[in-house]
Amino acid sequence: MKKPPQGACQQPDWVRLAQVWEHHLTPAKPFWVNAGLAHPGPLQVHVHKGMDVGILLSGQYELQYGDYLFTPEPGDVWLGGMWEPHSWRVTQAGTRSVQVCFLPEVLEEQHEHGLDLLRMFTVPASQRPRVTTQSMRQEVLAIAARIQREMKTKQMGWMTVVRADLVQFLVLLLREGSRRAPPAEASSRRPSLPA
């Protein structure tokens, strides 16, 4: 199957369409994890408190941040900023992903160590780090599998493990970010929006 083109597309009226998605993030519960099966459905437009990280395990999503449309493949990742409007739609049966939404405070310690991991969430969506090699894809999928396992079993210390995996994942993206190919040419494809 040919991969749909990635690139710029017409930007919807985010203010009119966006719904606030509540993950109930607090200093005591600074991140939310979702892992599992999603079914094809209508386009949804969200904004939410917290940064957003997604890893596609199988199937297909259609995501849009601003005027940038992204159709990830298994092992691809996406990053979303706090209160950044975005749309998403599951376009294939059997789609599974791991998503983590978290407060910036989760990464404060890394900032003290000279790692500006939050910057990846503030650059334009087309410039955010992506998976660039097959070995990186396998590493990302392994991290996602660990996060999914911890989230399902919720054994003692599971949140600490998820936090460590999230940091490892973001450091991997930061290291590989400079090797990413330039963004694809503009695409005329865009999600069909509700009237």
Which pLDDT score is estimated for 9?
Answer: 54
> Exposed e or buried b for every residue in 40-58, given b needs 16+ CB within 10 A?
eeebbbbbbebbbbbbbbe
Average pLDDT over every residue of 151-157: 91
Which pLDDT score is estimated for 186?
Answer: 37
Contacts of 22 (CB under 8 A, 6+ apart): 48, 49
The per-residue pLDDT for range 32-73, each reduced to its tens digit, is: 888 888 889 888 888 888 999 999 999 998 999 888 999 998
Rounded Cα–Cα distance for residues 118 and 111 (Å)? 8
Burial (CB count within 10 angstroms: exposed 0-12, middle 13-18, buried 19+), residue 88: buried
- 125 in Cβ contact with 65 (< 8 Å): yes
* Model confidence, pTM: 0.79
Which pLDDT score is estimated for 27?
Answer: 87
Architecture of domain 7-178: Sandwich (2.60)
Which pLDDT score is estimated for 195?
Answer: 41
Average pLDDT over every residue of 150-177: 90
Average pLDDT over every residue of 124-153: 92
Domain ranges of the chain: 7-178
- Percent of the chain predicted with pLDDT > 90: 45
Pick the closest to residue 170 from 97, 122, 118, 113 (CA basis).
118
Mean pLDDT (the chain, rounded):
82
